Amino acid sequence: MSELSSLKPERVFKYFEEIARIPHGSENMTAIANYCVDFAEKHSLKVIKDEANNVVIYKSATAGYENTEPVILQGHLDMVCQKDESTEIDFMKDGLELFVDGDFVKAKGTTLGADNGIAVAMILAILESDNIPHPPIEAVFTTDEEIGMVGALALDMSLLKGKRMINLDAEEDDTLTVSCAGGSDFRMIVPLKRKTVRGSKVIITLKGLLGGHSGVEIDKNRVNADILAGRFLNYMKSVCDFEIISIDGGDKGNAIPNNCTMILCTATPDIFMSSAIDYLDIIHGEIGDREPDFIDNICVCEESEYDVIESEIKDKLIFTLLCVPDGIAQMSAEIKGLVESSSNLGILKTEEDKIILHFTLRSNKKSALQFLEGRLSAFSSCISCETECSGHYPPWEFKENSELQKLFKECYIEQYGSEPKIEAIHAGLECGVFASGIEGLDCIAMGPQLFDVHTVKERLSIFSLKNTFNLLLEILKRMK
């Protein structure tokens, strides 16, 4: 018998375990979508699956709720697939191995996928039941949320009649989420010309910085390795001649880069080494308290001929890294402590004929996001580089006088004896996509306590899941 089979609420954990057995990483959605369709057909519920593998399941109201407005219950089907070095798994074919550790459900050697499989499991348990009071339900399971809300953006919102929505993709059980950021990906593409010079190759590596999520941790005062590299190069330009062969830092647009490698060429390696060591010591002294694990490494290699970036492009690149907007752009005037707008240079990549700078832009206001894009476009025009802007997803702006917010607070206070935290987050939720596609949508986001999501340490609190599920049922019961 499975360890999870005895956990309460039993049906939620039953469905969560079934979901875990099905490979459902982003861009591998067919099997999990078909599972949801099969569930609906088994329980004689109307179901629609679209070309993006989004699934919408409809359930009629229970007795006494026939004349109430529908409620949308929403979660996403995909998970982030990560494993530790000792675990052998093919995420395209293999399921997860779950186990119980005290109050926690975990997966052996991999991410758990409770983000957002536990939402799907809760909704399926409600759809299955005959004795849970509720209004008409439109259960929406979207795909590829983790790689840009692809499914939600492709969903035909006319399939939904509800104007009330509960998103179950939050990760703190004492918090009601009421707003989230929208975002886009902005790329600056600097064409390269190269020349051949003779000198010693020098490799400088900056690493060990904290990095982190470019939304929720952009206000944590963490050092961006790419921006730090620009600062270093700008200083070195004033004390020593050198050329740039390549510079590369970060591999995800939505993460603050924690490492950067510069490969340079200089005719005076001794002077370069001495000056670089002195300046990096100054940097260590400046940022050591907030970046305790930061280390650098300088390696001087053989003298030879190297293809380097032409000087004009080199100067343009250093200027860009020194001056481009990065980090917090604006704090919210309405919500205390909320970062309203930010930009993050997440990827700096040198290719043979170009350098790519990839920014993730975020804002909780649509107009402010457009301003960030315009700002980078104006900057780019001054250095004569190409630009691309893609991956737009809308913000979910705070709604005054929300009946759902009021109902959640009432139920929460009765269950816990204290008030919930009310939070707007500087990260993306699918609520923004739905709010932009359904006029007048009243929406909240809630969920059980999860820890270390997107890592192999991901875990779900069993006690929290029970309380959160009971809270959700009480909210549905009062939605007359």
Active site amino acids: 78, 145
Question: CA dist 461 to 75, 161, 268, 280, 417, Å?
Answer: 18, 34, 58, 43, 20
Contact 166, 73 (CB under 8 A): yes
Cα–Cα distance for residue pair 424/135, rounded to 1 Å: 27
Identify any residues that bridge with 252 across adjacent strands, giving them in sequence order: none
Angle of helix 30-42 versus helix 10-21 axis, rounded to 10 = 140
What residue type is assigned to position 321 of the chain? L
Residues 425-434 as b/e (b if ≥16 CB within 10 A, e otherwise) read: bbbbbbbbbb
Label residue 21 exposed, middle or buried (CB < 10 Å: 0-12, 13-18, 19+). middle
CA dihedral sign, ordered 128, 133, 136, 141: negative
Closest CA to 173 of 387, 409, 468, 445: 468
Q: How far is CA 37 from CA 45, 56, 100, 120, 141, in A?
A: 9, 9, 29, 13, 11
Distance in angstroms (rounded) separating the CA atoms of residues 343 and 358: 10
Other residues' Cβ atoms within 10 Å of the Cβ of residue 216:
13
Distance (Å, whole) CA 230 – CA 312:
15
Q: Which residue has the tokens 């779950």?
A: 98
| Cα-Cα-Cα-Cα dihedral sign, residues 307, 310, 311, 314 | negative
Long-range contacts of 404-410 (CB under 8 A, 24+ apart): 404/164, 404/165, 404/166, 404/442, 404/443, 404/444, 405/176, 405/178, 405/444, 407/475, 407/478, 407/479, 408/176, 408/444, 408/446, 408/475, 409/176, 410/478
Distance (Å) of CA 227 to CA 128, 231, 346? 52, 6, 10
- Rounded to whole angstroms, the Cα distance separating 181 from 429 reads 8
Asked if 339 contacts 218 with a C-beta cutoff of 8 angstroms, the reply is yes
Identify which of 358, 460, 470, 476 has the alpha carbon closest to the alpha carbon of residue 101. 460
